[in-house]
Structure 1
């Protein structure tokens, strides 16, 4: 059997394991370890397992993951996320569809703290769905807004999606964080416009909430000012070049703990720490597994074979990029986002570099495509998260509810393909 045939067999086995719901990290690690053992010997596989695990675990760049996750967990557990929602509601809650739009804004704010789409959907779902239900919002609109708003967590800095992409491709985390800001704002704006259009066409979908007085608006903003300050300091500090993403994560975590020290009980802190450890361990296992399967793919020559095949097609760089994004879009219907990055970047990234495509711009497009997978059937992880918060809403209604937002994601990708500077302007201006 040739090396390439062994690689294809391994990738087929991996897909079968994932379809059987074997945990992503274990499935990837198992295939990578066995594949290296077959192609390069058992001793090579053991040596690589030891060296890569230690190197990855001791990488200082990965400190951003537990610290940003801790920030998100603490703000969720102490109710600070509700303050973000209340501030957004104070602005636009009194217009038709305002509660759904406030949910999107709240998700965007929480995403800047947690960097997690699942955490954003779960937290804002608990905060917002009961309010929208109280004002008789259509269930498709309310659940769709929460599921789609949660996806902002993988795009708006601090994004764990960008961290994983940066580690796997050896790109700058800071540049990727900056590159995600304007596309994130663009997508958030398009989400709000989609809600407005729906409520103009069908006003009964999003009845207007009660009006808030100027004093109520002021109180809402004063209550949310500390957490808004943390967001401004962490992202603004990176933008201004005052500190790195790692330093920003530490500053943000310390500020959050300081701000809520009077309400932070030992129980809340323990639960936040435990949740952060579990999530971090999951991400680390996936990264270690990725560093096992990457050498296996290299030994099997699959990346070079795919590159030669694409070159033979004679496509332009933009057409090749479009083809890669289309593959991500299809894979996103049944694969988890991090698994897609681990499986495909070793194959696609050399092609991207060879075609002269900017890796930072491509990273934004890839992560945005992963977002679409989070609300695409049949997997649609965020849809199932919202279903767990709203068990009485049929799953089919939630999937129907996310369709307008899915289309807005597609529009955002098309805009970024036409105007790359939307993503590249900030990183090129601030980081040389």
Structure 2
């Protein structure tokens, strides 16, 4: 186990020096394996694992869902989603902030990327909130927090990656993310209500949408709603697998973009495909690095030492889950969601499985913890994304603005911990 701990220390050092998680895990895994079995064995292991796992048919779900998200972003559907949400919630105090939360949830349902959601909603939601004198703290904090919904509400790339690492059904994970996602939207809206009640000047009243624009916005959201229902409804009903759903989703998103006049030139297609390719390559490097790193960790015996630790201290399954969640929260302050998954899950997977823990439920918990890390200092990836789009907003104001939402996310985590059925009820109906 000592060499595994040294490996983790070197990995953290490389990450702090600026190495990407994928390359850092690949380097540490390769060198660590060589220290235990020799360089020749390490070269053979890397070659075999990379070739074998890159040919995994289930991996095709990642580029296809990413392509779906890229097409949706390019279709510029976010403005209609935002206006439709405001049409429903504008009569309440803080209506623009409430609409931001709901629109972020809707956009996440067809985008699947937290960073894209945060960046897009920054461009769409911030101008009207500024026009009506919303405080930067409330506005930017709501946008950053709303972006976190992108990794919980399906289709979610982190859920796909967790499913591949833990060998869980991706379709079940997607369905499991629906109720927790709705729970978080509700908690975020409650946060907005509490903030504007305590500080009415943070969210002055705004006029309702014109009837014509309201109808136009609702019509504009219908294709996205239909696509979401087809993709998740098909998975839930068993009509097609998650991999097939990703292909249908990508095709449907392309059709929507073409219908809206935003994907009709070769240059636009090239841009979308290039964006999806770069994102996919980045994620695949992380995945392959995680696979090599997990081979080193397994060879070091660390997972089995953790099993002995659990047995020696007589940890109950619930205590073990809490222990892992605490570690994940600490990691979330340094690593992004995918980094947490690839580093944490392989290490604790044997102990979790032998403890009889529902791995679908645990997957939702880990992703929820990752959401907390997205807006928690010192990294807070979503906060910096919003800052990059809105450079005139002070970083401190954004971090203060997300504080109520961190409390909401922790509340959601506690609720899913105490009431696992929030995550397991819908998948249970499919089994």
Q: TM-score, normalised by structure 1?
A: 0.96
Q: Distance in 1 between matches of 2:205 and 2:59?
A: 44
The answer as to whether partners of 2:68 and 2:253 remain within 8 angstroms in 1 is: yes
Aligned to 1:326: 326
Alignment of 1:221-300 (within 5 A): 221-262=218-259, 263=261, 264=263, 265-300=265-300
The answer as to whether partners of 1:157 and 1:180 remain within 8 angstroms in 2 is: yes
Taking only aligned residues, the RMSD between alpha carbons, in angstroms, comes to 1.3
Q: Distance in 2 between matches of 1:213 and 1:207?
A: 19
Aligned to 1:83: 80
The answer as to whether partners of 2:73 and 2:111 remain within 8 angstroms in 1 is: no
1:311 aligned onto 2:308: no
Instruction: Encode CA deviations 1:20-62: one digit per residue, 9 max, x unaligned.
Output: 1111111110000001111112122112212211222221212
Measure how far apart 1:137 and its partner are: 0.8
Aligned to 1:185: 182
The answer as to whether partners of 1:90 and 1:216 remain within 8 angstroms in 2 is: no
Measure how far apart 1:260 and its partner are: 2.8
Q: Higher mean Cα deviation, 61-70 or 355-364?
A: 61-70
* Unaligned residue ranges in structure 2 (runs of 5+): none
Alignment of 1:17-416 (within 5 A): 17-262=14-259, 263=261, 264=263, 265-416=265-416
The answer as to whether partners of 2:75 and 2:256 remain within 8 angstroms in 1 is: no
The answer as to whether partners of 1:70 and 1:276 remain within 8 angstroms in 2 is: yes
The answer as to whether partners of 1:74 and 1:269 remain within 8 angstroms in 2 is: no
Secondary structure of 1:260's match?
helix
Q: Distance in 1 between matches of 2:236 and 2:376?
A: 33
The answer as to whether partners of 1:121 and 1:385 remain within 8 angstroms in 2 is: yes
The answer as to whether partners of 1:29 and 1:292 remain within 8 angstroms in 2 is: yes
* Unaligned residue ranges in structure 1 (runs of 5+): none
The answer as to whether partners of 2:377 and 2:399 remain within 8 angstroms in 1 is: yes
Q: Higher mean Cα deviation, 180-189 or 301-310?
A: 301-310
Measure how far apart 1:143 and its partner are: 0.7
